[in-house]
Structure 1
Amino acid sequence: MLRFLSKMHSGGRLVASSHIRKALHFNIGDQLLLRVEDGELRAIPRMEVIRRAQQLIAQYIPVSVSLVDELIADRRAEAAREDSEFHISRGGPLFG
């Protein structure tokens, strides 16, 4: 476990030493989720938060299911319904 003393600077800035940044693979410009848990400040890289969320959701989706393919099929079906409703409301297709 790495431990380093830091202090709060003006504007609420908190400095993480290079040792901590390297250990956590933090880079300049990285987005971090900051949360308070049990009176402690925790910093989690945005990509790690996304990875954890994907892992959590994946356990409920069978391997044989492609959410992308399902989304595309749903969107195409919805577009076809919208097109059909438009033609009905206009009395037929726009051209022809």
Structure 2
Amino acid sequence: MTKSFHARIADDGRVIIPAPLRKQLGLHPGDTVVLEQDGNALRISGYAHVIKEVQAAFAPYHVPGRSEVDELIAERRAEAFREEAEITALRARHGTDSDA
């Protein structure tokens, strides 16, 4: 159900979100909001709500018991190890110090 509220834009561009709407949406002073333009419409969403939407969108791709973060860290460590091995091999071939 769509509800309409009215607000004015101040000279400095500020818009006050009416208190009943802030309360209903769980918005508090200092909260971050996301502004989305859709044609001539402006949508204001609480940051926490947007995070939940993104998490829900990616939920079908999550494999239980698997940590994508841990996998990324492992990949980066393996890549760093390979690069260090290549550098060591190049230094050995060219007779340079390994500490230089």
State if a TM-score over 0.5 links the two structures: yes
For 1:47, the equivalent position in structure 2 comes to 48
Q: Say whether residues 1:67 and 2:64 are aligned partners.
A: no
| Partner amino acid, structure 1, of 2:69 | V
Kindly indicate whether residue 79 of structure 2 is the aligned counterpart of residue 83 of structure 1.
Answer: no
Gapped runs of 5+ residues in structure 2? none
Verify the 8 A CA contact 1:36 1:42 in the aligned structure 2: yes
Aligned mates of 1:64, 1:85 — CA distance in 2: 34
Structure 2 residue 15 is matched with structure 1 residue 11 = no
Q: How many angstroms does 1:58 deviate by?
A: 2.0
Measured in 2, the distance between the counterparts of 1:51 and 1:84 equals 42
SS of aligned partner of 2:45: strand
Question: Aligned-pair distance for 1:73?
Answer: 1.3
Identity among equivalent positions (%) equals 34
Structure 1 stretches lacking a partner, 5+ long:
none
Deviates further, 6-15 or 30-39: 30-39
Give the superposition deviation at 1:2. Answer: 4.8
Q: Shift of residue 87 of structure 1?
A: 0.7
Tell me how far apart the structure 2 counterparts of residues 74 and 33 of structure 1 sit (CA, whole Å).
33
Aligned alpha-carbon RMSD (Å): 2.3
CA contact (8 A) 1:87 1:94 kept: yes
Please name the residue that 2:27 is paired with: 26
- Please give the per-residue CA displacement for 1:30-70, whole angstroms capped at 9, x wherever unaligned: 11111133643211122221221122112123224220221
